[in-house]
Amino acid sequence: MKLVVAVLKPFKLDDVKEVLKNMGVHGMTLTEAQGFGRQRGHTEVYRGAEYEVDFVPKIRIEIAVDDEQADEVVDAIVGSAATGKIGDGKVWVLPIETIVRVRTGERGTDAL
Amino acid sequence: MQTVAAYIPYPHWLNSGDNTWQLVAATLVGLMSLPGLAVLYGGLVQRKWVVNTMLMAFAGFSMVLIVWVLWAYNMGFSSQTFGLFGAHGTGFFNNLVGKPWPITSHFGEQNQATSLAQTDVPFHFPNATLAYFQVVFAAITPLLFLGSILGRMKFKAWLLFVPLWITFVYAVNAKLLWGGGFFAMKGAVDYSGGYVIHLAAGVTGFVLAWMVGPRLKRDRDHGVPHNLMLVAVGAGILWLGWNGFHGGDPFYAGVDAASAVLNTNLATAAGLLTWMFWDMVGTRQRKPTFLGAINGMICGLVGITPSAGWVDGYGAILVGLICSTIVWVAWNYLSRVRPFSKVDDALGVVYTHGIAGLVGGLLVGFLADPGMVEYIGVGKTPSVVVNGLFYTGSWHQEWEQFLAAVWIICFTAAMTVILATITKLVCRGLREKDAVLEIGDVAIHDEEVYPQETFAERVSAMTSLVDRE
């Protein structure tokens, strides 16, 4: 089992969610995040003082999937979240040791 | 030793009670705009649009104040007639608009207030009081139609459109209905601005929203209000501020001011409850909603605006009930048909202000109770009252109300198209670029409504201070 983690532009959420739903992904976890990569931050000005805000609002999606499905999910996310501009985000994949569904106690792929 | 009074505090024509009430009432109306509408709208928009919304409200309010004293007040309320195209007498063009003239001189501010509309009962306060009372009315109107164009209009375009609109639309409508102009002479009445303010704001908002174009699709799909508690604060200030709106409009701290205040609150309560009732029985969810109740509250407030001091308590409750019901139906069903379904009126100003103002203005002709006395007649002079159809059986008042409404709708819509076109040419467009709209406040103002110190690092000033040490 794999954990796909993606940090993306917030306004791309709907597109990504739609594509993942259509390919049969059962669930995902979403967190509002702040981050920066190569994309520059912005300046804010309060009472004449300038503040550099490096961190840009992002969304962080986590999806647990079968080993076979992982690549397909990554491609789907990349395909639907890309705008071609700097700051589109990153996707990475981690191995999962085990998963337990809390309600039933099922383990492993049954719990996905 | 004999003491001689060397000074008196004010001239003989001034009544301190009337002057006090008028200034308090004006301040209450001002509070409806700032912070009332600023936080109401600020609460209703998405988080990324709050700063833009609030600044448009504060800047628009300031714009109107300056324009008002320099020329627009006298266009609406001057006691001098201004024969447009050389017209004179009682015709339309001689009674369309007053002479543009400042009121900023010492006599402009300190002389006894006069107005063509109010020749029989002298004002008990100076011109500065009347001008300020009238300016807070003028200033709230652009802030109302601001609700239609939130979240995409160019800030610069807003700064130009507001003064143009006050000069060429508001001042004219105010003159026609309040400043002793053509429709006032014919007998149309508008107690506190159901037509001049609310109907005009609804029409302008709708037309301007159409011309500016819709918000981003994402902003429309995710247009959830960012803070309902701020909506509660703004709505509460609006409701109670309306006491100044209507309590001030008889211009004397007298009997009719008292009944207007009570009637206003009755209609508002009825409007709020009516909308809530329809939400509980007429929607798929069958649940009372806070934002629905606030809509109903505004319908009641706007609906009673044209008639507050001319209907009795029964009439006031009916006004709230009818306005809220009609607007509820329009909000839920009319919004599905063209052109309403095609125009992105962000906060629905055309319904809660436009339609509510229109219905309220037309209800005057039915419900005005001739027993409600605005000014008491002395000797053989009859008291100042308005005669509704239900009491007198005469359609006269209703007909005048209808004609004035047709004028307000057509004139305001046409002028909005013209003024917005001029604004568009001067400001090179009416809307911000899509890239800016995606970001909102930070892109337009370099500010956000909830800045987080964790993420913000001070540049220039702090670093240079450290460097010097």
Which residue in the block uniquely carries the two structure tokens 């191995």? A95
**Which of B456, B460, B461 has the CB atom closest to A44's CB atom?**
B456
Per residue in B44-56, pLDDT (tens digit) is: 999 999 999 999 9
The pair of structure tokens assigned to B106 is 């010492």
**Chain A residues touching B459 at Cβ < 8 A:** 43, 50-52
The pair of structure tokens assigned to A99 is 């998963």
**Which of A34, A42, A54 has the CB atom closest to B442's CB atom?**
A42
Q: Say whether B306 sits in a helix, a strand or coil.
A: coil
Mark which residues 48-87 of A lie under 8 Å from B by CB: 48-55
CB atoms within 10 A of CB B14: 16
Does the distance separating the beta carbons of A53 and B457 come in below 8 Å? yes
Does the distance separating the beta carbons of A45 and B451 come in below 8 Å? no
Q: What was the ipTM of the complex prediction?
A: 0.83
What does the pLDDT read at residue B48? 94
**Which of A45, A50, A53 has the CB atom closest to B455's CB atom?**
A53
**Chain A residues touching B456 at Cβ < 8 A:** 44, 51-53
Per residue in B204-222, pLDDT (tens digit) is: 999 999 999 999 998 998 8
Smallest CA–CA distance, residue B459 to chain A, in Å, is: 5
Smallest CA–CA distance, residue B53 to chain A, in Å, is: 17
Does the distance separating the beta carbons of A46 and B447 come in below 8 Å? yes
Q: Which residues pair with A33 in a beta bridge?
A: A58
Tell me which chain B residue has its CA closest to the CA of residue A12.
B218
**Which of B448, B455, B460 has the CB atom closest to A55's CB atom?**
B455
Are B161 and B221 a contacting pair, CB within 8 Å? Answer: no
What does the pLDDT read at residue B2? 66
CA dihedral B63→B65→B66→B70, nearest 10 degrees, is 140
Which residue in the block uniquely carries the two structure tokens 């959830």? B224
Peptide bond into B339 cis (omega under 30): yes
What does the pLDDT read at residue B120? 73
Does the distance separating the beta carbons of A49 and B447 come in below 8 Å? no
Smallest CA–CA distance, residue A42 to chain B, in Å, is: 8
Between chain A and chain B, the number of residue pairs with CB atoms below 8 A apart is 43
What band does A60 get if pLDDT is binned at 50, 70 and 90? Answer: very high
Does the distance separating the beta carbons of B461 and A51 come in below 8 Å? no
Does the distance separating the beta carbons of B438 and A49 come in below 8 Å? no
**Chain A residues touching B224 at Cβ < 8 A:** none
Does the distance separating the beta carbons of A14 and B456 come in below 8 Å? no
Closest CA to B49 of B199, B215, B260: B215
CA dihedral A29→A35→A37→A41, nearest 10 degrees, is 140
**Chain B residues touching A42 at Cβ < 8 A:** 442, 446
Determine the residue among B450, B455, B459, B460 to mutate to test chain A binding: the one whose Cβ has the most chain A Cβ atoms within 10 Å.
B455
Mean pLDDT in order along chain B per 10 residues (469 residues): 80 96 98 97 96 98 97 88 73 85 91 78 93 96 98 97 98 93 91 96 98 94 92 98 96 96 98 98 95 98 97 97 98 93 95 97 96 90 90 94 97 98 97 93 94 80 51
What does the pLDDT read at residue B467? 52
**Chain A residues touching B218 at Cβ < 8 A:** 11, 14
What does the pLDDT read at residue B119? 63
Q: Rounded to whole angstroms, how far apart are CA atoms B386 and B364?
A: 8
CA–CA distance from B24 to each of A88, B29, B87, B106, B118 (Å)?
A: 55, 9, 39, 22, 21
Tell me which chain A residue has its CA closest to the CA of residue B460.
A50
Determine the residue among B220, B460, B464 to mutate to test chain A binding: the one whose Cβ has the most chain A Cβ atoms within 10 Å.
B460
Smallest CA–CA distance, residue A17 to chain B, in Å, is: 14
